[in-house]
Chains A and B, each alone.
Chain A
Amino acid sequence: MLKHTFSRLFIVGGVLSFALLISGCSMIRGPLYPDVIYNNRQPLISVTYEYGEIEVQLPLAYPGGVPDIISFQVYAQGDTLNPIISILQESPHVFVVYLPQGVLDIHSKSNLIKIIPQDTNFESVSVRFQGIRFGKIQLPPKVIRMKQLIVSGTVFLNKNGRNLVGVDVSLQNFDNEIKKIKTNEAGFYQLAIPGEYKYAKHVRLVAGNNLIFKPHKQKLDFSQSFKLIENVGVGPSGDLVDPLYLTNKDNVHFREKPDIGSKTIFLLEKGEAVSVKRVTPGEYNGSIEVELNNKKKVEIEGWVYRSDVFLLDLNNIFKKGGDNDTEL
């Protein structure tokens, strides 16, 4: 009986103790606030980029002279005012530049390398190219040339000043033809040759090879300028009065007198004009124009065989077999 009572008391005591323990723990720990309380502190984040490198290689060729120094300017993204890098160096055979990743336009050819030789005799050139994100760009070779030498002007007939169409005009170095052109409908011509001839001593302008007159030949000097203007008069001048005859071969004797054994004053080239004044059965007496050193022309009188000349027809001044008609 007593044991049973103790047992009951023990159970009741245990239950009460457990209840007290639970409620006591809750009282000790306290209630939990339902939300997490943030202070919106900026999280600590580290961002590290690795950038690649762009290597641009541009081979250069110098067919003529080589400038001492070249300035290379690299522009990107179509901005041609502010170079991303400028390099001044001795003329290399391959220009190499290293650029950071991301500076070039990788979608279009809006990136540019300006090659500016530090020598006024050379042309500046530009190379447009499309970029890549990183890696190597191999560009096609670029030619660095000396500036072109240009000669231009009109070809006209000395006799009346009219411009001539379709006249052959050429530039020659010694007797080697460098370039040839025909005058246009206005009698205008323009010839351009590589700048390597700038200091050549024997460059000459030849006009009228397809005319019956003696061709006009003139030495050119480009040492002071890249552009020359030369207006060329062909044929006899207006000072020579009609009728005019032209020599029909080279080495025509222009003699002092009609007599056999008379002194030869000049040997005339084919196509030289003689203004005839008197006629004998075998010879013509007349005058020719001779240009003096000071470019002044004087008339000299003499005799030529009739068989060595033919009457000049100004309506037909082109050589036979050419593709030109007379244009006056």
Chain B
Amino acid sequence: MIQNYKSLVFILLLPVYLNGQVKLSVNTIPKKVKVLLDGILMGESPIKNERISPGVHKFEINKKGYAPLVYDIIVNPSQAVHLDFFLNPIYQIKFKTEEVGLVFELNGTQQWDNKFIRLNIEAGDHLLRVFKLGEIVDEQTIHVDEPKKFNYYLKKSLSED
């Protein structure tokens, strides 16, 4: 009896609830990515015919091989909102140098001194700094847009194999 009553209330309030909502669809590239809305799993993309209330929300998207994406949005009162997320891929880069005594640093945080190393790097531009005996001896931007191998020669642009 109580269950029926709750169902009836839910059915009666459903149009009121839906009336205040904005129709939501989410697409991602690549597809079949798990999408979290305000920490709650919505499902795998593409997501269609969902509802979202106007106001502040947070989308989180994680997929292996891609940079994690967090997006805060203020949803305007509207009929529908369509979101397209283009995930940024992570590529494996082989970095090689014949120079000796050099320390390499990427984006001011990641450092190594190996002459040959494999790096998992987010696609895009990265700032490479080269140190020798604690002093910067070179600085350049490297652009990553595919898996590739870099050969480093001091004070020369990186050459790609």
Contacts and interface: CB of A to CB of B under 8 A. Distances in A.
Interface of A: 29-33, 35-39, 41, 43-52, 101-102, 133-134
Contacts of B140: none
Contacts of B109: 37
Nearest to B86: A44
Contact of B73 (A31, A41, A47): A47
B contact residues, range = 35 or more
Interface in B57-87: 67, 69, 71, 73, 76-87
Given A32-B118, A43-B69, A43-B87, 8 more contacts: A31-B118, A37-B126, A39-B124, A41-B67, A49-B79, A101-B78, A101-B79, A133-B19
B7 interface: no
B71 A49 contact: no
Contacts of A36: 67, 90, 120-122
B107 interface: yes
B4 interface: no
A48 B119 CA distance: 36
B79 A134 contact: yes
B78 A52 contact: yes
B129 interface: no
Nearest to A29: B118
Interface centre among B79, B85, B114, B116 (most CB of A within 10 A): B79
B77 A133 contact: yes
Contacts, number: 109
Contacts of B87: 43
A30 B96 contact: yes
Given A102-B76, A133-B77, A41 B122 contact: yes
B97 to A, nearest CB: 11
Contacts of B151: none
Interface of B: 19-20, 23, 67, 69, 71, 73, 76-88, 90, 94, 96, 106-107, 109-110, 112, 114, 116-126
A33 B91 CA distance: 13
A47 B120 CA distance: 29
Contacts of A44: 85-86, 88
8 contacts: A29-B94, A39-B121, A46-B86, A47-B73, A47-B81, A52-B78, A52-B79, A133-B79
Contacts of A31: 114, 116-118
Nearest to A32: B118
A37 B107 contact: yes
Given A36-B120, A41-B124, A49 B86 contact: no
A49 B118 contact: no
B124 A51 contact: no
B54 to A, nearest CB: 9
A275 B12 CA distance: 85
Nearest to B71: A45
Given A41-B124, A52-B79, A101-B78, A30 B118 contact: yes
